[in-house]
Amino acid sequence: MQRAIKTPSLGGAWALSKVVSEQIAIENKLAESIVAYYGLSVSPIGDGEIHRHDHPEGRKGNNRLWYVLHHDFGVHGDWSTGEKHNVFASDTPDPKVAEKARKEAEKRRLERQAERERGYALVASQTRQEWPLLVPASPTHAYLATKGVKPHNLRQMRGLLVVPLTDGQRLVNWQTIAADGAKYFKTGGKVKGCYSPIGSIEPHQPLLIAEGWATAATLHEATGYAVAAAMNAGNLLPVAKSLRERYPTQPIIICADNDHGTVGNPGVTKGKEAASAIGARCVWPETHEGVTDFNDLARLGGGLAL
């Protein structure tokens, strides 16, 4: 008897085609969303696992961007900011699919947070072990000479200045500064809410918060007040909140950079935001050519009236 040859049913072929089509569609939507938000081109893999990529504006190996792709939805975001974005196969997603995406994003956030905390602890431990082995920074270091400030509590390692960062209780990280001003934190170490302190906090005297370390050193040398270097504008608010919690009655002044040449003036904007959040004053240098911070102003002979 001749054996019948089975062929796929038309319905089965259509179903397979539909699945493949939907998978390609969600992959394309996720890729387009990542490009739209971060300007990064990727080829998403729909395996339900977490995939990481460098943010184009960060240093090599930052792994800030991530995505997770399933057959009917994707989630992507930026670890450093906490933002995340959902992408669905349908323009009108099923509420159950949307809820599943929300739970998936929250699960990944918690996993990443736990991983981040483990990294923070490891870097903090290494930093505390290595710090005593470093020598005090030379007052003649090229960067200090350029900025016109003293080394204060800095140390030095193979020609690099080493700036200590504390969480308010212990040393947790450091930033290195090269002679040309290139700056890097220890990879995987905590920065948000951490600062580099200069000087001792005295009762009733203002506590100043600045962005960069050289600006903080300039302010301390000019006023004698204690200064916390937040290291960047985005960290002014977390540092301000941390210090206000530790020193609830201390007068605090946010000494912002005046980024008048940058759209939105992030220095002043972030400075005002931090000051408003803790009931503090915010000051910044007047707009002048070549002046963006109080160190620039001091080197040009300007007064530092706070």
Tens place of pLDDT for every residue, the chain, 306 residues?
Answer: 444 444 444 455 545 555 566 778 888 999 999 999 999 999 988 888 888 899 888 777 788 898 988 877 888 988 878 788 888 877 766 677 767 767 777 777 777 778 888 989 999 999 999 999 999 999 999 999 999 999 999 999 999 999 999 999 999 999 999 999 999 999 889 999 999 999 999 988 999 999 999 999 999 999 999 999 999 999 999 999 999 999 999 999 999 999 999 999 999 999 999 999 999 999 999 988 889 999 999 988 766 666
Q: Collect all residues with Cβ–Cβ distance below 8 Å to 120 and sequence separation of at least 6.
A: 172, 188, 189, 190
Instruction: Report the pLDDT value the prediction gives residue 295, as an integer from 0 to 100.
Output: 95
Q: How far is CA 176 from CA 13, 136, 208, 231, 246, in A?
A: 60, 14, 22, 12, 27
pLDDT at 155: 98
User: Contact, 131 vs 155, CB < 8 A?
Assistant: yes
Inter-CA distances, 135 with 1, 54, 155, Å: 92, 34, 5
Cβ atoms of 27 and 89 within 8 Å: the answer is: no
Residue 141 exposure: Cα atoms within 13 Å on the Cβ side: 28
The pLDDT score that the predictor gives to residue 236 is 97
- pLDDT of amino acid 176: 97
Provide the token pair at 109.
């956030």
pLDDT at 108: 73
pLDDT (0 to 100) of residue 111: 78
What would the 3-class secondary structure string for the chain be?
A: CCCCCCCCCHHHHHHHHHHHHHHHHHHHHHHHHHHHHHCCCCCCCCCCCEEEECCCCCCCCCCCEEEEECCCEEEEEECCCCCEEEEECCCCCCHHHHHHHHHHHHHHHHHHHHHHHHHHHHHHHHHHHHHHHCEECCCCCHHHHHHCCCCCCCEEECCEEEEEEECCCCEEEEEEECCCCCEEECCCCCCCCCEEEECCCCCCCCEEEECCHHHHHHHHHHHCCEEEECCCHHHHHHHHHHHHHHCCCCCEEEECCCCCCCCCCHHHHHHHHHHHHHCCEEECCCCECCECCHHHHHHCCCCCCC
- Residue 219 is encoded by which pair of tokens? 């302010």
Contact 153, 190 (CB under 8 A): no
Residue 4 confidence (pLDDT):
47
Q: What pLDDT is stored for residue 8 in this prediction? A: 45
- The 10 Å Cβ neighbour count of residue 197 is 20
Q: How far apart are CA 17 and CA 102, in angstroms?
A: 28
